[in-house]
Chain A
């Protein structure tokens, strides 16, 4: 059984007991435990089930490479699925639950898949669910969806908060093992600004577990001194609990700091995502131990040798009383020594190498342990727990030589440098034959902005697998003089072992797990190779090898070695799959950072926003603004409110917050010339104090924006844009001025937010302005399309006599800080004239009744002004304007284009928006031919019936024709083509 030893555990604090629960069972642990060490201390070896066969799964590793030990952690708003027990700190009261089983971990229905394992080989999904096609939607997909996914989706809103922060450094060192610390000290002493990132709470990495000495002191003491030295330097920031998850272009390093994961609810942010810009990144990310592929290597109790050592040394936890060690290298002998030191039994070390000569092996022999050279494991006995191993010759086919009873198997297939960060941004790898591993190629690093390498790998991450080599390599990065010295013994060469025993037949290979979470076995990869999968990327997707939540950290190298052997090619010819960020999964909360709730997205408010809010507003999003859609009175429906606003504005007086309209000042000697290029019409000839409506097109000729242009003075114009177009059009202007017409003397300024703009609209508009007083707003002094500046009712006002409604209308701009007061003054003073505020829907109906187009309704990026019968707004005299040549292309100049017309249903109903008018026959795809579509459609309270505009082929030539518009449920709407101006065709009201 696995248990807590009476002594030991360098990371736990035995004076601080905690309690965690696993599937409801209370378990005693200590502060400093991980969830994995805490449950292992309580003999909870089995922690989950595999994805496909639902086989029992135990803890295999002690770090980020753990594929099995995933739990749901917490409850309610703090529930998180797929938490890796080996890297999650235990805390008092932590509630955990295992995943992927039903009804319980101990008894699981899905395990029946295990019995049919031969029917579920690699590529099973692809083979089975291909046919018949109709089964996809109704049979296969629901079944797959039900069985897919390991963890449960949280049901509550996340109770925690998250944030992000930016940091800058000359050098970012990833990993605070002895390599990272050595490199960081060197960089810091060289005067660099250094950030050190360590994913665990404690620094030191493997060296402190292995118990080597550095510069004459124990690794523990050396690490403590190094950390203290770094913390004492102003140019160094050392962050623990911080996982560097991804490296991107130009030294952009992403790292997730776990702030309150282990202290939930203490008021601190749960996590902080660091966005670091580093001049150079040093990856001191260590190495990951590989499994060995022998039959039954997935049975709980079979673990990585270094992990077994970690649990004993770091947490005082023994995995079993009797541990058999299986290895192809010297490092695993350290586990034997650690276990012996803790008073545990090591019945034998099974070493696949024929000659075992290393000093570590000798030390183990000297302690009376049998070392079986040239041997392997034929099979592991046990179901939910290891009970023993059958031993065979590694060179043979698996005939049993003897059986050894044990409750733990510690395996080591060698080490793989953690090359993820190196590879994220394009660093290349070399295959190292001696150590059978991919390691960074220093000649082909990821390149920075200057074309030079921006990453250096040091230590084990660079393929240095002994302490002396690690220290020398890391010291060389920045240091001068002698590297720290160590007494670590020399190690004999490892021997690559991809299958154990090497001649194992199909029966054994079917029980050799490569990816224990996704249930990918040696036989599956070999089958894929036989079926013609040669690319490692294809094999990965076909077999799901390395697609589990550990992202192949443990299985990758073994899998591609098996694939290479099956393809009879060397491993480098097969290559690796792509290493993509994040290194370990990132919490969505950390990715979102502060962007949630009220500050999920910027909300743009006009100066009058708060008034609307307290007056029954129904909001409509317009870009990032909110504009009033309408103002509902108590008990009033939206529809009734809109109709009331329309009728009142036509009959009395309406007030509109038009502050969101773009207002761009264009000034300079060449401003007139510039505007003549931007607009289809002529703006340079506009008289000072006058307004003119204009259209803007892109180079292709398509309509982009519209608005009223005002000539403010001899050399300055004010361009009104649509609400959504202000920033885009300002950028468009600057683009042309900076990149194309850089020698034109024009300045622009976006004054959109400088002014609150209010439209006073309706027959009583002039009366209200005259009541306010201060400016002559008479028809004679301020005629239609004129502009005046002055003081209106005490406010600094610019008054534009423009109309988007067909009514007598003034748009008045005042400084934004006076906007609210001005609105209220108008609102109060206008009561005697029947004033009511109105919203955007009323605005739309008013303009549609007048046949005015709306950018975004009548236009969609494929419409030119000519389509909208707006040739009158296009100057024929000008040599050029943006869009002119585009509009001359044959297709845009064609007489067959759909053109704007009014549409009137025969029964007075409202046409559905966006419906198409059908034409006889079908097109090449067998679809019904069409000849037009609806672009705007409303109920007109003024006329008491539906009105619409649409684009129809040869539309203006077909007045009076009736078109069929098929709608939902087979209904056909019939509408007659009419003039697009439905109300006050002669414009009398406008000109009042």
Chain B
């Protein structure tokens, strides 16, 4: 296996919250009829969860399924398992109108950790964090780029962006988490 490097190779920043590029994460885009039994069965086999409801994330045994749109899920799996699981999904859904594709390398993932984690994000995304559910995924805008985020712990958010703009997103997070810029 050749050297594999995530977009920012695990870069971190300690501001009023801790920011870290989370390294390589397996991600599979699954498109199809989310209401179909075949897809539900394939998702169960691939990540061990049910098909999430609108804007929800479901997790089981370190793997997750995230609702992205009415016909699209994002599956989170260990990086090395992603190609195999994508192939398995394609295989099991071969009779269906569905698409499973490995997009692990197209993305960057960040963790934002700390009591005021939502404040760092509140400056970048038009998201109402007070009403964001514990199991809710929000696809939104991170300043000038697309992103998705959710609560991944009691004081932790996970944010996903496209890989090419990982440096920009890190710059944004460093800027918004700078000590002294806490929202009172």
Q: Which residues of A contact B (CB under 8 A)?
A: 161, 163-168, 193, 266-269, 272, 275, 277, 594-595, 598-599, 601-607, 624-625, 665, 667-669, 716, 745, 747, 749-755, 794-796, 815-818, 820-822, 825
B84 on the A face (CB < 8 A) = no
- Judge whether B167 and A163 touch: CB under 8 Å: no
| Residues of chain A within 8 A of B106, CB atoms compared | 750-754, 816
Say whether A665 contacts B123, CB under 8 Å: no
Contact check, A595 vs B2: say whether CB atoms are below 8 A apart.
Answer: no
Choose from B4, B6, B99 the contact partner of A667 (Cβ within 8 Å).
B99
A820 touches B99 (CB 8 A): no
| Bound: A916/B104 CA distance, A | 49
CB–CB A754/B180 < 8 A: no
Chain A interface SS verdict (over half): mixed
The answer to whether B2 touches A795 (Cβ under 8 A) is: yes
Given A665-B99, A747-B98, A817-B6, 20 further pairs, Cβ under 8 A? A163-B181, A165-B123, A166-B123, A595-B143, A605-B166, A605-B167, A607-B5, A747-B31, A749-B31, A749-B103, A751-B101, A752-B106, A753-B162, A753-B164, A754-B102, A796-B83, A816-B163, A817-B104, A820-B3, A821-B4
- In the assembled complex, how far is the CB of residue B24 from the closest CB belonging to chain A, in whole angstroms? 6
Given known pairs A166-B122, A168-B131, the reply for A598 and B99 (CB within 8 Å) is: no
Tell me the minimal C-beta distance from B133 to chain A in angstroms.
Answer: 15
In the complex, which residues of chain B have a beta carbon less than 8 angstroms from the beta carbon of A753?
Answer: 105-107, 162-164
B103 x A751 contact (CB < 8 A):
yes
Contacts of B124 in A (CB 8 A): 594
Interface residues of B (CB under 8 A from A): 1-7, 24, 29, 31-32, 71, 83, 97-99, 101-107, 122-128, 130-131, 143-145, 162-168, 171-172, 175-176, 178-181, 183
Q: Are A601 and B144 in contact (CB under 8 A)?
A: yes
Contacts of A665 in B (CB 8 A): 99, 101
What residues of A have a CB within 8 angstroms of the CB of B166 in the complex?
605
**Chain B nearest Cβ from A166, distance in angstroms:** 5
CA distance A95 to B107 in the complex (A): 49
Least distance between B97 CB and chain A CB atoms (Å): 4
Least Cβ–Cβ distance between B16 and chain A, in angstroms: 12
With beta carbons under 8 angstroms apart, the residue of A267, A751, A796 that contacts B179 is A267
Residues B4 and A818 in contact, CB atoms below 8 Å apart: yes
| Known A163-B123, A816-B105; contact A168-B164, beta-carbon cutoff 8 A | no
Cβ-defined partner of A815 (8 Å) among B4, B97, B122, B167: B4
Which residues of chain B are within 8 angstroms of A266 by Cβ–Cβ distance? 180
In angstroms, how far is the closest chain B Cβ from the Cβ of A620?
A: 16
The CA-CA distance from A193 to B131 in the complex, in Å, is 11
Given contacts A165-B123, A267-B179, A820-B5, contact A599 B172 (CB under 8 A): yes
A817 and B99 in contact (CB under 8 A), knowing A267-B179, A822-B2?
Answer: no
Cα of A669 to Cα of B6 in the assembled complex, Å: 34
**A815 to B80 Cα, complex, angstroms:** 12
How far is the CB of A203 from the nearest CB of chain B, in Å? 16
Closest to B4 in A: A817
Cβ 8 A contact of A602, one of B71, B83, B103, B168: B168
Q: Which of B126, B143, B164, B176 contacts A605 (CB 8 A)?
A: B164
What is the minimal beta-carbon distance from A500 to any residue of chain B, in angstroms? 48
Cα-based distance from A595 to B130 in the complex (angstroms): 25
Tell me the bound Cα distance from A818 to B102 in angstroms.
14
Q: How far is the CB of B172 from chain A (nearest CB, A)?
A: 6
Distance A26 CA – B167 CA, assembled complex (angstroms):
47
Query: Which chain A residues border B165 with CB–CB below 8 Å?
Result: 602-605, 624
Residues in A with CB closer than 8 Å to B176 are 163, 594
Q: Which of B3, B99, B175 contacts A599 (CB 8 A)?
A: B175
Closest chain A CB from B43 CB (angstroms): 16
A754-B105, A818-B4, A822-B2 as given contacts; A166 in contact with B168, CB under 8 Å: no
Given contacts A625-B164, A755-B105, A818-B2, contact A599 B97 (CB under 8 A): no
- Checking A168, A267, A269, A603 against B130 with a beta-carbon cut-off of 8 angstroms, the contacting residue is A168
Which residue of chain A has its CB nearest to the CB of B94?
A: A715
Chain B residues, CB < 8 A from A603 = 165, 167-168
A821 and B3 within 8 A (CB)? yes
Residues of B within 8 A of A168 (CB): 128, 130-131
Instruction: Check if A268 sits within 8 Å of B181, measured CB to CB.
Output: yes
Contact in complex: A668, B99 (CB < 8 Å): yes
Shortest Cβ-Cβ A-B pairs, 5 listed = A604-B164, A816-B105, A747-B99, A753-B106, A754-B106
Contacts of A820 in B (CB 8 A): 3, 5
Q: How distant is the Cα of A749 from the Cα of B4 in the complex, in angstroms?
A: 23
A-B pairs with beta carbons under 8 Å apart, 24 shown = A161-B175, A163-B181, A165-B123, A166-B123, A168-B131, A266-B180, A268-B180, A272-B183, A599-B143, A602-B145, A602-B165, A605-B166, A607-B7, A747-B99, A749-B99, A753-B162, A754-B102, A754-B105, A795-B2, A816-B106, A816-B163, A817-B6, A817-B104, A821-B4
How close is A769's CB to chain B, nearest CB, in angstroms?
16
Of A602, A605, A825, chain B has the most CB atoms within 10 Å of the CB of A602
- Which B residues are CB-close (under 8 A) to A817? 4-6, 24, 104-105
CB distance from A912 to the nearest CB of B (A): 35
Interface-centre pick from A167, A665, A753 (highest chain B CB count, 10 A): A753
Chain B's closest residue to A625 (CB) is: B164
Q: Chain A's nearest CB lies how many Å from the CB of B76?
A: 16
Q: How far is the CA of A607 from the CA of B162 in the complex (A)?
A: 12
* Shortest Cβ gap from A712 to chain B (Å): 11
- B71 nearest CB neighbor, chain A only: A747
For the complex formed, measure the closest distance between the CB of A688 and the CB atoms of chain B, giving whole angstroms: 15
Residue of B nearest to A666 (CB): B99
Residue contact A164 to B103, C-beta cutoff 8 Å: no
Interchain nearest-CB distance for B163 vs A (Å): 5
Chain A residues with CB under 8 A of B143:
594-595, 599, 602
Picked from A164, A193, A272, A749, the residue with its CB within 8 Å of the CB of B29 is A749
**Which residues of the other chain, B, contact A755 by a CB distance below 8 angstroms?**
105
In the complex, what distance in Å separates the CA atom of A443 from the CA atom of B84?
Answer: 64
Shortest Cβ gap from A76 to chain B (Å) = 21
Closest chain A CB from B171 CB (angstroms): 4
Query: In whole angstroms, what is the CA distance A669 to B98 when docked?
Result: 10
The answer to whether B103 and A754 have CB atoms under 8 Å apart is: yes
Cross-chain contact A269 with B181 (CB below 8 angstroms): yes
Q: How far apart sit A607 and B2, CA to CA, in the bound complex (Å)?
A: 14
Q: CB-CB < 8 A to A594: which residues of B?
A: 123-124, 143, 172, 175-176
Chain B contacts for A601, CB-based, 8 A: 144
Return the chain B residue nearest A793 by Cβ: B2
Q: Which of chain A's residues have a CB closer than 8 A to the CB of B99?
A: 665, 667-668, 716, 747, 749
Determine the chain A residues whose CB is within 8 A of the CB of B181 once the complex forms: 161, 163, 268-269
Taking CB as reference atom, which chain A residue is nearest B167? Answer: A605
Q: Which of A796, A815, A821 has the most CB of B within 10 A?
A: A815
- Residue from B3, B7, B171, B172 within 8 A of A818 (CB atoms): B3
**Whole-angstrom distance between the alpha carbons of A266 and B180 in the complex?**
8
